[in-house]
């Protein structure tokens, strides 16, 4: 009969432990805030067939007009080694996307800065 009580005690302890962990997980942990994802914005433009034409033509203003986001943003297009723009914001999110040329291999790097 002693083994039965030990088993029952172990089961109750497991239930209490699992209940405690679920309560801590659902009530006390702060939810993640949504952060901007500039890479996904650039990838979406590339999948729509918009990004490559603007990148090859070095058309900053045209590409800027295609970006629809609630954040302040700037775009940089360069062949190799982008230098980057300085922003006065505290948190700046950067997404990099590489595209090749249309008729020849002329790679371009497109950077999207969100703040």
84-100 pLDDT tens trace: 666 677 788 888 899 88
Give residue 14's domain range: 1-31
In this structure, are 7 and 58 located in the same domain?
no
In this structure, are 60 and 85 located in the same domain?
yes
In this structure, are 65 and 19 located in the same domain?
no
- Is the pLDDT score of 29 beyond 70? no
Tell me how far apart the alpha carbons of residues 38 and 107 are, in angstroms, rounded to a whole number. Answer: 20
- The pLDDT, as a whole number, for residue 66 is 86
Per-residue pLDDT reduced to its tens digit, 31-68: 566 677 888 889 998 999 888 888 888 888 888 888 88
Torsion sign across C-alpha atoms 10, 16, 22, 25: negative
Average pLDDT score, the chain: 83
Q: Are 93 and 111 in contact (CB under 8 A)?
A: no
- The pLDDT, as a whole number, for residue 89 is 77
In this structure, are 22 and 67 located in the same domain?
no
In this structure, are 50 and 25 located in the same domain?
no
pTM: 0.63
- Report the domain count for the chain: 2
| Burial group, residue 104, by CB count within 10 angstroms (0-12, 13-18, 19+) | exposed
In this structure, are 47 and 102 located in the same domain?
yes
């Amino acid at each position: 009969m002693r083994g039965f009580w030990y088993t029952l005690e172990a089961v109750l302890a497991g239930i209490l432990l699992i209940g405690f962990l679920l309560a801590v997980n659902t009530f006390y942990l702060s939810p993640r805030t949504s952060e901007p994802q500039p890479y996904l914005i650039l990838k979406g433009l590339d999948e729509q067939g918009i990004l490559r034409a603007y990148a090859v033509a070095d058309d900053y203003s045209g590409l800027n007009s295609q970006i629809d986001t609630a954040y302040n943003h700037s775009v940089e297009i360069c062949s190799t080694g982008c230098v980057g723009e300085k922003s006065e914001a505290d948190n700046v999110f950067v997404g990099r996307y590489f595209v090749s040329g249309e008729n020849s291999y002329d790679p371009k790097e497109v950077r999207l800065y969100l703040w």
